[in-house]
């Protein structure tokens, strides 16, 4: 089989056992501190104070390993994971896979931060409060909002929080009964539908005109009524299109008495160049793990501060941080507040990382960030646009994209039978991270959505485009390679049957063992 010269990659393949298959009886990985003899003597057999019916009978069926065995196992698992630091992540759109500076990692590992308890006397936590307060101020400046809360712990959580604020605001005005709908646009991140639904709203979804790639003003107007409590959307959309009708939408919703929350999880490409508060938005959110460089941490912790205009500040979650002279303090006494959306005050290490990042960048650096991100994005758009089988819907109406760009492999699928699912199993053979298809429903068929961010070099982008071209060419010349792809990864093609079969799925090792033995009994 002839293979393009750019292949040559193979992932680490340890065939690492599940941890339950490692170690041996009696091994220990950590010595637990013991109580002093006088303590033991004073209290006796304390476990006996628990009634027998509530005592644990058998220890949990954990594996027994030494410290070096645990380290080796998890180190290998880390090697079997492809992070931003590992290689090209330019295909992972809507995720903003940017580099996280190492100095910030060093700073957040300071015991001066890690060893703080959230309920310590305010005297003892002035330093961390100062950093939190300062970040809020910076985010206000970046967004043109008046107040921020750092409490939400992820993007969808922030959208949920904003929906709860809309709910509280409408209740406060006695309008919540009538105002029970949130309008969203399907080109926004799915949480703009899911989160307001979880917050108790009906969701009306506006679809784009398939000719232009954005909604018609008329269809948008039809979705808005006196029942509209708010609008919750992203802009730029997932397609990378910035909809310049935004101000019009905001006006329509405001005239209907609704609030507007713009999900700016992916602010990156407009950082320092679009301040949403200047255009009538009442609320917004940022994902620190996207635009502000905090690491994605394999899927969190994230941190997603929300920003609001003055009229909504009273509704923010408690506590808020106040500054009196040189002292910082928490204010819990906020009668109109929605209350709490998570415990304590937010993902503090990410708050500090984001503060450090903005401090290192300065205003010029933020502009450079969005400049490089937008340039990279549009450069990649051009490089991919010529690839056989790849099309960019609405390239005529919206040639310039921000953040990302939603391509389609529909031609490729029609001509070769190979669609995004198979392409994604193959592209990883070339040593790049998989590509993000698109959120559902697929407005663009067989979608894929690259987002290079400012962290990709030109060489990365050229390489990624070359890989994409090689994979698409294979679809025309070498279709069989897709059938059992991937070939160069840590494992082979996965059997998906377990995903939907209750007899087969195993969410834990104990379930796996039980089901396996049940199956072998049935089969015998």
Partner 1 sequence: MLRVVGAKDVDSLFQAALQKYLFRGKLNLPPPVTELELKREVCATLEKNRTTEQVLSFLGAGCWQHVVPEVCNEINSRSEFLTAYTGDVYTDLGRFQALFEFQSLLGDLVAMDAVTYPSYDWATAAGDALRMAINATGRKEVLVPLSASPERVRVMQQYLGAGKMRHFGYDERTGQADLQSLEDMISEETAAVYIENPAYLGFLEKDAEKAGKIARDNGALFIVGVEPLSLGVLKPPGEYGADIVCGEGQPLGLRQYFGGALLGFVACRDDPDLLNATGARLITMTDTIKKGERGFTFALPERVMFAKREESATFTGTTAVLWAITAAVYLSLLGPAGVGELSRTIMEKSHYAAKILGEVPGIEAPVLDSPFFQEFVVSFGTKSVKDVQSALLRSGIQGGKDITYDFPQYGNSALYCVTEVHTAADIDRLADILSRVLR
With binding defined as CB under 8 A, does residue 324 bind partner 1? no
For residue 108 the two structure tokens come to: 């957040």
Nearer to partner 1, 126 or 414 (CB): 126
With binding defined as CB under 8 A, does residue 500 bind partner 1? yes
**Residues in 449-468 that interact with partner 1 by CB under 8 A:** 458
With binding defined as CB under 8 A, does residue 157 bind partner 1? yes
User: Is residue 429 within 8 Å of 442, Cβ to Cβ?
Assistant: no
Tell which one of 10, 109, 388, 519 touches partner 1 (CB under 8 A): 109
- Of 475, 487, 464, the C-alpha closest to 93 is 464
Q: How far is the CB of 295 from partner 1 (least distance, A)?
A: 5
The DSSP line for 376-393 is: HHHHHHHHHHTSTT-B-T
Nearer to partner 1, 129 or 412 (CB): 129
DSSP 8-class letter at 312:
G
**Residues in 372-411 that interact with partner 1 by CB under 8 A:** 374-376, 378-379, 381-383, 398-402
206 DSSP β-pair partners? 185
**Residues in 173-192 that interact with partner 1 by CB under 8 A:** 190-191
Tell which one of 54, 324, 522, 523 touches partner 1 (CB under 8 A): 54
Tell which one of 60, 174, 325, 335 touches partner 1 (CB under 8 A): 60
For residue 210 the two structure tokens come to: 């398939």
Strand-strand pairing, 228-234 and 259-264? parallel
102 CB neighbour count, 10 Å cutoff: 9
With binding defined as CB under 8 A, does residue 352 bind partner 1? yes
Q: How far is the CB of 140 from partner 1 (least distance, A)?
A: 10
Nearer to partner 1, 151 or 408 (CB): 151
With binding defined as CB under 8 A, does residue 217 bind partner 1? no
Q: How far is the CB of 214 from partner 1 (least distance, A)?
A: 13
With binding defined as CB under 8 A, does residue 165 bind partner 1? no
Nearer to partner 1, 415 or 421 (CB): 421
With binding defined as CB under 8 A, does residue 315 bind partner 1? no
Nearer to partner 1, 414 or 510 (CB): 510
Nearer to partner 1, 219 or 518 (CB): 518
Q: How far is the CB of 291 from partner 1 (least distance, A)?
A: 13
Nearer to partner 1, 370 or 416 (CB): 370
For residue 242 the two structure tokens come to: 């910035």
Strand-strand pairing, 306-308 and 259-264? unpaired
With binding defined as CB under 8 A, does residue 207 bind partner 1? no
Nearer to partner 1, 67 or 415 (CB): 67
Tell which one of 340, 411, 445, 478 touches partner 1 (CB under 8 A): 340
For residue 47 the two structure tokens come to: 């476990």
Which strands make up the sheet holding 306-308, listed edge to edge? 147-149, 306-308, 283-286, 259-264, 228-234, 181-185, 202-206
Give the H or E element holding residue 475.
helix 458-477
Nearer to partner 1, 2 or 49 (CB): 49
Nearer to partner 1, 189 or 414 (CB): 189
Measured CA to CA, the distance from residue 138 to residue 288 in angstroms comes to 13
Tell which one of 1, 47, 521, 524 touches partner 1 (CB under 8 A): 47
User: Is residue 348 within 8 Å of 128, Cβ to Cβ?
Assistant: yes
The DSSP line for 107-150 is: HHT-HHHHT--TTS-GGGGHHHHHHHHHHHHHHHHHHT-SEEE-
- Of 212, 201, 448, 172, the C-alpha closest to 311 is 172
Measured CA to CA, the distance from residue 341 to residue 153 in angstroms comes to 9
Measured CA to CA, the distance from residue 285 to residue 265 in angstroms comes to 6
Give the number of residues written for the chain: 524
With binding defined as CB under 8 A, does residue 224 bind partner 1? no
DSSP 8-class letter at 307:
E
User: Is residue 71 within 8 Å of 288, Cβ to Cβ?
Assistant: no
Nearer to partner 1, 109 or 479 (CB): 109
DSSP 8-class letter at 64:
-
Q: How far is the CB of 10 from partner 1 (least distance, A)?
A: 12
Q: Can you list the positions of beta strands (E) in 344-453? A: 407-408, 447-448
Tell which one of 8, 10, 24, 200 touches partner 1 (CB under 8 A): 200
Dihedral angle computed from the Cα positions of residues 129, 135, 138 and 143, in that order, rounded to the nearest 10 degrees: -120
With binding defined as CB under 8 A, does residue 74 bind partner 1? yes
With binding defined as CB under 8 A, does residue 198 bind partner 1? yes
Tell which one of 197, 209, 329, 473 touches partner 1 (CB under 8 A): 197
With binding defined as CB under 8 A, does residue 327 bind partner 1? no
CA end-to-end distance (rounded Å), the chain: 42
Measured CA to CA, the distance from residue 185 to residue 205 in angstroms comes to 5
Tell which one of 174, 299, 325, 335 touches partner 1 (CB under 8 A): 299
- Of 204, 176, 199, the C-alpha closest to 188 is 204
Nearer to partner 1, 76 or 336 (CB): 76
With binding defined as CB under 8 A, does residue 311 bind partner 1? no
Q: How far is the CB of 417 from partner 1 (least distance, A)?
A: 19
With binding defined as CB under 8 A, does residue 329 bind partner 1? no
269: Cα separation from own chain's centroid: 16
Measured CA to CA, the distance from residue 146 to residue 307 in angstroms comes to 7
**Residues in 75-104 that interact with partner 1 by CB under 8 A:** 75-86, 89, 92, 95, 97, 100, 103
SS3 (DSSP) at 296: coil
What would the x/- binding string for partner 1 be over residues 232 to 271, using CB under 8 A?
----x-----x-x-xx----------------------x-
Nearer to partner 1, 125 or 147 (CB): 125
């Amino acid at each position: 089989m002839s293979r393009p010269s750019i292949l040559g990659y193979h992932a680490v393949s340890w065939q690492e056992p599940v941890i339950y298959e490692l170690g041996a009886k009696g091994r220990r990985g950590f010595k637990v501190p013991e109580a002093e003899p006088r303590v033991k003597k004073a209290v006796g057999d304390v476990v006996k104070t628990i009634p027998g019916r509530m005592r644990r009978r058998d220890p949990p069926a954990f594996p027994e390993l030494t410290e070096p065995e645990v380290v080796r196992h998890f180190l290998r698992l880390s090697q079997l994971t492809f992070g931003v630091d590992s290689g090209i992540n330019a295909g992972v759109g809507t995720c903003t896979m940017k580099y996280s500076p190492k100095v910030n990692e060093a700073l957040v590992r300071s015991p001066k931060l890690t060893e703080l308890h959230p309920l310590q006397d305010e005297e003892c936590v002035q330093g961390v409060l100062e950093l939190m307060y300062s970040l809020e101020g910076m985010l206000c400046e970046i967004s043109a909002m008046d107040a921020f809360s750092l409490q939400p712990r992820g993007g969808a959580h922030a959208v949920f929080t904003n929906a709860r604020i809309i709910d509280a605001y409408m209740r406060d005005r006695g309008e919540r009964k009538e105002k029970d709908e949130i309008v969203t646009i399907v080109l926004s991140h799915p949480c703009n539908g899911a989160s307001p639904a979880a917050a108790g709203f009906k969701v009306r979804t506006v679809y784009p005109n398939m000719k232009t790639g954005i909604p018609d003003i008329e269809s948008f107007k039809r979705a808005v009524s006196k029942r509209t409590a708010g609008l919750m959307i992203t802009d730029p959309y997932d397609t990378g299109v910035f909809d310049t009708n935004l101000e019009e939408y905001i006006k329509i919703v405001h005239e209907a008495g609704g609030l507007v929350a713009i999900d700016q999880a992916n602010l990156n490409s407009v950082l320092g160049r679009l301040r949403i508060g200047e255009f009538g938005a009442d609320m917004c959110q940022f994902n620190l793990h996207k635009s502000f460089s905090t690491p994605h941490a394999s899927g969190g912790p994230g941190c997603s501060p929300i920003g609001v205009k003055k009229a909504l500040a009273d509704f923010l979650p408690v506590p808020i941080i106040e500054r009196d002279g040189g002292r910082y303090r928490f204010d819990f006494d906020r009668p109109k507040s929605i209350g709490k959306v998570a415990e304590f005050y937010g993902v503090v290490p990410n708050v500090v990382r984001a503060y450090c990042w903005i401090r290192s960048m300065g205003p010029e650096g933020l502009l450079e960030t969005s400049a490089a991100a937008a340039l990279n994005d549009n450069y990649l758009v051009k490089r991919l646009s010529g690839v056989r089988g790849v099309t960019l819907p609405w390239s005529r109406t919206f040639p310039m994209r921000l953040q990302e760009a939603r391509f389609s492999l529909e031609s490729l699928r029609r001509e070769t039978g190979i669609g995004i699912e198979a392409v994604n199993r193959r592209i990883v053979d070339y040593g790049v991270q998989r590509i993000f298809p698109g959120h559902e429903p697929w407005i663009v068929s067989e979608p894929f959505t690259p987002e290079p961010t400012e962290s990709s070099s030109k060489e990365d982008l050229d390489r990624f485009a070359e890989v994409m071209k090689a994979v698409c060419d294979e679809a025309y010349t070498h279709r069989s390679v897709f059938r059992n792809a991937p070939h160069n990864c840590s494992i082979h093609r996965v059997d998906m049957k377990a995903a939907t079969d209750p007899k087969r799925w195993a969410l834990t090792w104990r379930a796996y063992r039980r089901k396996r033995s049940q199956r072998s009994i049935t089969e015998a």
